Structure 1
Amino acid sequence: MCTPENQTSTWFDEYQKGVRYGLEGQILVDEKSKYQRITIIDSKRYGKALLLDNCWMTAEQQEKHYHECLVHPALSGALEIKRGLIVGGGDGGTAKECLRYKEVEHLDLVEIDEHVIKLSQKYLPTIGGNAWQDPRLQINIEDGIKWTKHAGNEVYDFVIIDSSDPKGPAKGLFNETFIRDCKRILRPGGIFAIQSESPESFLKIHLDIIRLVKKIFQFADPIYGWVPMYPSGWWSWTFASMGKPHYLHPHSKRVNAISQDCIIWSSKWQKGAFEAMPAFIERALK
């Protein structure tokens, strides 16, 4: 667990299986919403940082490592990107990256915990940036499982699951019924994206997510990168589509429009990330 209650300590740690991952800083917020504990610290290394239920979510100087890798393989490769859905993403980072594409006309952000949005807007405004004021963004304080269940068929060009670890309010976002609903609401040529945990710190969860997505979609593949503040620093994101693996083929016009302002993502980086599956994971998936 994190230890913000001890005001004499300047270290805040996430504990996972005998290992701890910490940042040094000062506490700004430590509150409980209806759904979870929300902690925000001002860290010395990465700026202001967010924890949910004592697990690291994002930080001002780390968010690009995560959000660019989740968003751009999907939006650069989908056939159309006029209408999209984000489930989770209350810090605003995923929305900000999506709205960099001028082709996006409407973006639904479905977040169950309004308090995460409010605190992120107040204490972490650079992560969401101008997304919060963009008229294309529609914020919906809803359960993402219910939202996808009741959405019509083929209404989105991309669906992005930007959730915390599969526990608490995010637990239901990693089951077959929900993923099948995500497939159903995608238009032809659309892309599904989900963060798929660390292959080192959460190997079983990582493999289960990939297997599940591969079971439901015709094509599905993970990419591997790094988010230094996360458990082990090694992270993954999984993408899926029907017809062909659209996520493997970025549109050059979109790449040229956004790549100059990216910190991590580029079409070259993406190609390498899709080819970076370690041998032990490849064997496990076979």
Structure 2
Amino acid sequence: MASLPTTFNDWIDEYHEGVRYGLNGKVLIDENSRHQRITLIESKRYGKGLLLDGRWMTAEHQERHYHECLVHPALCSAKHLNHILIIGGGDGGTARECLRHKGIEHLAMVEIDKRVVELSQKYLPSLGGDAWSDPRLQININDGITWVANAADASYDVVIVDGSDPTGPAKGLFNQAFFKNCKRILRPGGVFATQSESPEAFRQIHIETVQLIRRIFEFADPLYGSVPMYPSGWWSWTFASTDSPRYKSPFSQRVQQVSNQCEIWSPRWQQGAFEAIPAFIERELHK
């Protein structure tokens, strides 16, 4: 991000491989935490938004395109919802979507950067909403990689990885050791979910991530959707389980609890999104 506009007459851009992805607006906060550069902006189109190390994370009027698609295929299909783990997710959007499910007893969010949580609560309060005060939510300021490595076997019904691109603090979230530990801490009938980058802007990372998860879990499939503010606007999430591709078969009772509150996700949307795998990726995954 080259400039720091202070009025609504300039652009805030993410630069990726010769392409700019930007919003017209102004910068509210730009600071360095212990872990990364955190920028809060206010835009005309998408409201307030968040960048980490110059990369778009979320915005008030865009976030449902991402959070609903990451959460509900997993939480509507896991056998139980007693204990849920979020790695990352400091803006609160994933926790909010999780807590729409009344069956959750305990939700642990492990975020490495306390400052992301603090600034999101102040400047992006609609993302976390009531989740921040929900007694089921436990916020842990810790390294998610270490947390997963130290967690007991079969301790979570769902593990959700809501991390940024595989650089900086999120770099260790895209490797074999981490994914193996995620599988180890899943209970029988559990579901693993992770954002898995853009099949266009991060083509090779996306393919390698899906291939790796498929080698570790018995069942794994990518789902495709649109997050217009992200590089290319085309995004993916990958779901995995050990007993069956249960993430493709949501329980109707859970669907009824959350579907009327969703703007993007629905069982019909989900079915189409799993089937929307582009031909070049399908060929790579079948090699």
TM-score range, shorter chain: over 0.9
Q: CA RMSD of the aligned region, Å?
A: 0.9
Q: Which amino acid aligns with 1:114?
A: K
CA displacement at 1:3 relative to structure 2: 2.8
2:238 alignment partner in structure 1: 238
Matches within 5 A, 1:35-54: 35-54=35-54
Distance in 2, Cα, partners of 1:280 & 1:208: 13
2:212 alignment partner in structure 1: 212
1:182 alignment partner in structure 2: 182
Normalising by structure 1, report the TM-score: 0.98
Q: Does 1:165 align with 2:165?
A: yes
Q: CA contact under 8 A between 2:27 and 2:42: conserved in structure 1?
A: yes
Matches within 5 A, 1:1-286: 2-5=1-4, 7=6, 10-286=10-286
Distance in 1, Cα, partners of 2:182 & 2:196: 16
CA displacement at 1:4 relative to structure 2: 3.8
CA displacement at 1:243 relative to structure 2: 1.0
Distance in 2, Cα, partners of 1:281 & 1:92: 31
Query: What secondary structure, in the 3-state scheme, does the structure 2 residue paired with 1:177 have?
Result: helix
Distance in 2, Cα, partners of 1:217 & 1:4: 43
Distance in 1, Cα, partners of 2:27 & 2:272: 38
Distance in 1, Cα, partners of 2:134 & 2:201: 36
Distance in 2, Cα, partners of 1:134 & 1:62: 23
**Count of residue correspondences:** 285
Distance in 1, Cα, partners of 2:10 & 2:163: 27
Distance in 2, Cα, partners of 1:187 & 1:225: 28
Distance in 2, Cα, partners of 1:173 & 1:166: 7
Query: What secondary structure, in the 3-state scheme, does the structure 2 residue paired with 1:223 have?
Result: strand
Q: Which amino acid aligns with 1:245?
A: P
CA displacement at 1:82 relative to structure 2: 1.2
- In structure 2, the gaps of 5 or more residues are none
Per the alignment, do residues 26 and 7 of structure 1 end up closer, same or farther by CA in structure 2, a change over 3 Å counting?
closer
Distance in 2, Cα, partners of 1:211 & 1:151: 25
Q: CA contact under 8 A between 1:12 and 1:23: conserved in structure 2?
A: yes
Q: Deviations over 1:76-109 (max 9, x none)?
A: 0000011100000000000000000000000000
- In structure 1, the gaps of 5 or more residues are none
CA displacement at 1:240 relative to structure 2: 0.0
Distance in 1, Cα, partners of 2:207 & 2:14: 22
